[in-house]
Amino acid sequence: MRRSGNKQPTALFGKVPGHEYDRLIFRYPYQGDTMLAMSYQEAAKRLADSYRGQPIDDTILLPFLILYRQAFELRLKEVIRDFASSRRRFYESNNPALQPAAIEKRLRNPRVLGHNLEALLKEMLEHVDHLENAGDFPESTRELVMLLHEADGTGTAFRYSGQLPDIQESLDFPDLAALLDREFTMLGGMEDALTEMYAAGPQPEEEGW
């Protein structure tokens, strides 16, 4: 987990100090990208729960999509870190491209990975191909990530006006919410299963590495 090293409290939060327990909300410094991705998912699900099939509900569509796009992006980045770590520990300890600093540099470089869901998916699948017993990546999840990328390849189409098709579109919102929730959960489940499988197996030092 990456930490900023900044110990100064956030001035914005200082404007509204919490005193009553039933009004408090916390931000934790140890919240990594996996937890943050799940937080975006939770916020999106709560927003979806506010849907009542009324005209005013049209206003939640793009904010809802922003939340899920960010959730997928962060989760893909964390999967890449975890799978690269497993490759480094069990198969390619001397591969410079798998060292943490090299992985972070790729993830942060907008010309390499950055906010590009297609590039992140490709990078993650490359790690999957190098891990034993990884199994097949779910095709439905791959398709959903690519659909998100096609709709918002820059990470700004859901955030700003004028970047989506210049037409009026209609869709089934509960079905959209269920689709995104299902595939995000699938992505996380694959990461958890593979990470736990390697964690439960013989560690490199036990094998004389």
What pLDDT was estimated at residue 133? 65
Q: Is the pLDDT of residue 203 over 80?
A: no
Each residue's pLDDT tens digit, 42-75: 999 999 999 999 999 999 999 999 999 999 999 9
What pLDDT was estimated at residue 1? 53
Each residue's pLDDT tens digit, 133-174: 666 788 999 999 999 999 999 999 999 999 999 999 999 999
3-class SS string, the chain = CCCCCCCCCCHHHHCCCCCCHHHCCCCCCCCCHHHHHHHHHHHHHHHHHCCCCCHHHHHHHHHHHHHHHHHHHHHHHHHHHHHHHHHHHHCCCCCHHHCHHHHHHHHHCCCCCCCCHHHHHHHHHHHHHCCCCCCCCCHHHHHHHHHHHHHCCCCCCCCCCCCCCCCCCCCCHHHHHHHHHHHHHHHHHHHHHHHHHHHHCCCHHHHCC
Each residue's pLDDT tens digit, 74-108: 999 999 999 999 889 888 888 999 999 999 999 99
